[in-house]
Each structure stands twice: as structure tokens, then as C-alpha cells.
Structure 1
Amino acid sequence: MLIRDANAPDWPAIWPFFRSIVRAGETYAYPLDIDEPAARTLWLLPPPGRTVVAVDDAGTVLGSAHMNPNRMGNGAHVASASFMVDPRHRGRGVGRALGEHALAWATAEGYRAMQFNAVVETNTGAVALWQSLGFEILATVPEGFRHPSKGYVGLHVMYRRL
């Protein structure tokens, strides 16, 4: 697996799994009916952000991540990131590889920490992955996310010092 910067020709491979993940409404607090231009703007970040794709030997996009300062100004020393793995390629270590890549990027860029602002508590696979990569749950916003089948569930704020 290779992780590289995403470019405009990658978007047609990202958009189908982005759309299906968002429309499922289980893990992201994005509008369920987000249109393609808005999604593209949201996901493909300009500097100082960075968007990457994980690809296999055939060049198939397996997943994507974007990384960015968590806040502007005096909060810009803490990074954040978001991750999506094509459901057809789950269980192959793509999420872990993207997470490790994001941490290495943030460290190399001089960030002091990485913070995830909204990890849905019922997304147990993601929570376990981030904890295995050294993140801790700082707080949980009770009923901060409306899950389509589980109702109102918590949103974790997760943090790791770099």
C-alpha cells in the first residue's frame, strides 16, 4: 500500500465511498445529502491542510484522509485529521496506515498534538484504532450525535501528544 498526496484525478474514486459513508449517517456529522461540489471542497484541503489517498499496487484508491490545523491562530499548533476507508477495502489495515501517516505528517510539520473533535462513540472500530495509536478520550459530549438506528449517542474528543 502506498500513501500519497491526493490530486484532482483521485476525486472520482473518493466520491463514491465518501457519499455512501456520509449518507449512512453513522460516523460523520456532515449533511447526509451533501452534494459533490461541497464534498470535494470539504475533503480536498488547500495548504496548510493536506489530503492523501491510500492506493494498492494497481493504483486503486482504498481510502483517504485529510489533515489540518485543528484551530487557527494560537491554536494552530494542534493538528486534526479525518479518515475514510472504502467499505470494500476494510479489514486490510488501510485505516491504521492512514492514521500512522497522519501522525508522522503532524510530527514532521511541528505540531505538538493531534486532536479529533468528534469520534462517534458507537464507531467502536475507530475508537479502538485511535486508542491503539496512543489517543485518549478526553471527554464525551453526551448525545452529541444523532445515529440513524441507535438514537442520540456521544461524541468523543480524542487527543494524542506528539
Structure 2
Amino acid sequence: MLPDWLKPKGASTRLAVDVIFLETRSPRPFPVLPEGYSLSRVTGDEAVPLYRVLYAGVGQDYCWWMRRSMPDAELAGILHDPAVHFMVLRDGSGEPLGFYELDLRQGGDANLAYFGLLSRGMGRGLGRALLDHAVARAFGAGSWRLRVNTCTLDHPHALPNYRRAGFELRYVVPESWDVPDEYVPQRLKRL
């Protein structure tokens, strides 16, 4: 059963999507970030507004919508949980370029809930370093497995990048999503 905030309140578009579930059980060392970049955990009052900016910016072209409709209090409950790591990648001027959300609430069974770069951070080799950091952080926290899922609406490099980082395909689930029209990317509105 869907929570009320996931049910469209206005016009929506039904989208067919394959959700692809992957996992790795292979720890990685913490990567060295390219010079001039930093990665830090964000907590406190800054977390929800910054998360919203990054989530919308990274996912706007790939139909990331579920957290956009989530109420602030519910999102804050997730981000303020000590077992959830909201990690932000910044350039030398302090501008955010990307993020990941690592969920360690299931003990040693970790989940990379969200991961991505803003368009201005792409093409610099930062995605691989950010993904390697998420994997290293999960296993460094004592996880025995790290799960992630992507879908056929996500960035075309998402699945190949996860595979290159050692994630193995576990299964694929076909789904239909009723996405509020305000969150449907322009490229999908033309289909």
C-alpha cells in the first residue's frame, strides 16, 4: 500500500519501468578524491533543504520523484537517523556537485538509496570516486552486503557504472508508476 504522499493528487502519467536490483559483497578501499574536491556528511538543519536541491537537480531528467513528494518531516526523519549517511560532494568553492544516501539501518545489509551527480559535475571522473566512497563507507561500517537499484528511466550510464564498480545483477521487476505530471521529465512527456 502506498503512503498518501506517493499517490498523485492531480494529473499523472503512467510509466512502465523495469527496476533493476543489484548488490555487491566486495569491499573497496576509500578512494582519493581528485584535488580540489571534498566529500562530507551533512546533518542538522541544512540536510533537508540541501537534499531537496540535490535530489531534484540530479534526478529531474530521470524521473526521480518519490522523495520530491515526501513531506519534510518524513524526509528529516530519514536524514537525521544516525544510520543514514547523506554525503555531499563539493568543488573547491564549496558548491555541491553530487551526493549519495547510504542507509545502514538494516544492520550489515546496507542500501545505497540514492546516488548521483549534478550535470555540472559529470565528465570529470567524480562519479566513480563518489561510488567507490559509498561502497567503502558501507563496508567500513561493518556491512556484509551493499544493495542498490536503478531503473530503465535512470541515467543511461547508471547500470554500467554500478556493474563496473563490482555490483552484480540480482533481479529485475517490471512496474508501472503513476507519476505526478509535475515530476515527469520533458523527454518522457514526448513519448
Among candidates 44, 48, 52, match of residue 15 of structure 1 = 52
1:5 partnered with 2:26: no
Number of residues paired by the alignment? 144
Structure 1: gaps of 5 or more residues: 151-162
- The answer for the alignment partner of 1:41 in structure 2 is 76
Once the two structures are superposed, the pairs formed by residues 1-162 of structure 1 within 5 Å of their partners are 1-7=37-43, 8-9=45-46, 12-24=49-61, 26-28=62-64, 30=66, 34=69, 37=72, 40-41=75-76, 44-69=79-104, 72=106, 76-81=107-112, 82-116=114-148, 118-123=149-154, 124-143=156-175, 148=184, 149=188
Task: Write the distance in 1 (CA, Å) between the matches of 2:152 and 2:136.
Answer: 25
Q: Which runs of 5+ in 2 are unaligned?
A: 1-36
Deviation at 1:62, TM superposition (A): 0.6
Alignment-mate amino acid for residue 108 of structure 1: G
Higher RCO (C-alpha 8 Å, min separation 6)? 2
Q: Tell me the CA shift for residue 93 of structure 1.
A: 2.6
Q: Give per-residue Cα distances to partners, 1:61-96, cap 9 Å, x unaligned.
A: 111111113x63xxx321111213222222223322
Tell me how large the CA RMSD over aligned residues is. 3.0
Identity of aligned residues (%): 23
Separation of aligned partners in 1, 2:166 and 2:48:
30
Aligned partners of 1:120 and 1:145 also within 8 Å: no
**What's the TM-score once normalised by structure 1's chain length?**
0.71
**Bigger-Rg structure (1/2):** 2
Change (3 A) 1:84 1:38: farther
| TM-score, structure 2 as length reference | 0.62
